[in-house]
Amino acid sequence: MESESTVTTCYRHPKVESHVRCTRCDRYICPSCMREAAVGHQCPECVKEGARSIRQARTAFGGRITSAPLVTYVLIALNVLAYLGELVRPSIVDRFEMLGRGLVGPDGTHYVWLNNYPSYLHPEGLVGGEWYRLITGAFLHLPPTEGTFGITHIVMNMVSLWTIGRVVESQLGRIRYIALYFLSALGGSVLVLLIAPDEATLGASGAIFGLGAAYYVMARRLGADMRGVNQFMAGLMLWLVVSAWATSWQGHLGGLLAGGVVTLAYAYAPRDQRRDLVQAGACVALLALLVILAMAKVAELTV
């Protein structure tokens, strides 16, 4: 009979007799702790340590490979929820659409900006300190009652977001994709502020045009067949022209430019340990530039 001193037990379960060792740490493990390995068995701690040491697969632009375009789903859901909110409370549009400067009366009536406005009117928009409009306007769309465009506005934008967003997100990964989307939306709002500060605008088009620019830049960087991509961009440019009378061409162009700048940094950053730093630095630099431009314009408008 084996003596008690020679009985070996599992390091995680001292009361369980064990005769198998972990092939990595050489500790005894019981059947409940055994994890199948290429050779023999490993303990749970060594399995976790091995998983941490394995380098995760990355796309050509440094993003983590994901199985589902989760961010695109969330963005579509946010836009649809905001639209439903507009239908229930139409005042949401006036409260959160992009507006550089305007005036509102005590009864809630909105007026075009006047330099020497009467005392019973109050500034609204960015000149009134409502800086959130730079982003919130990108989640609102024209209500169904707005002429022939109406509900087509959100339908076209969400179809475009679904079509382009899934491709761009799969290549950039979620973090880079979120940064691209919001910087494109901000870029569109800032260009509206710079060119047409008295114009109230809304819609996700600026952000989606940014995704379109990203799609083009990524295709060129990956050496894809550009014939289909060029056709897509020609349609995008046509919509930019049409939008001159349908919606805000300034927002579309601003989103296109911002998205192009961000994706150029993503695509041509050095493919070494500096890549994440260069890409993040480019995003921060663009954000700082947009904020400075917005603040300078608002300061000019309030003089």
Spatial distance between the Cα atoms of 104 and 95, rounded to a whole number of angstroms: 11
pTM: 0.79
Interval 28-65: pLDDT, tens: 889 889 888 777 788 888 888 776 655 566 777 887 87
Spatial distance between the Cα atoms of 210 and 164, rounded to a whole number of angstroms: 10
Interval 166-190: pLDDT, tens: 989 989 999 999 999 999 999 999 9
- H or E element at residue 102: strand 102-104
Say if residue 78's pLDDT is above 90. yes
Sign for the CA dihedral angle at 134, 136, 139, 143 comes to: negative
Spatial distance between the Cα atoms of 263 and 143, rounded to a whole number of angstroms: 32
| Residue 194 neighbours by CB distance under 10 Å | 16
Is the CB of residue 294 less than 8 Å from the CB of residue 134?
yes
User: What domains appear along the chain, each with residue ranges and CATH number?
Assistant: 4-53 (no CATH), 70-301 (1.20.1540.10)
Q: What is the mean pLDDT of the chain?
A: 87
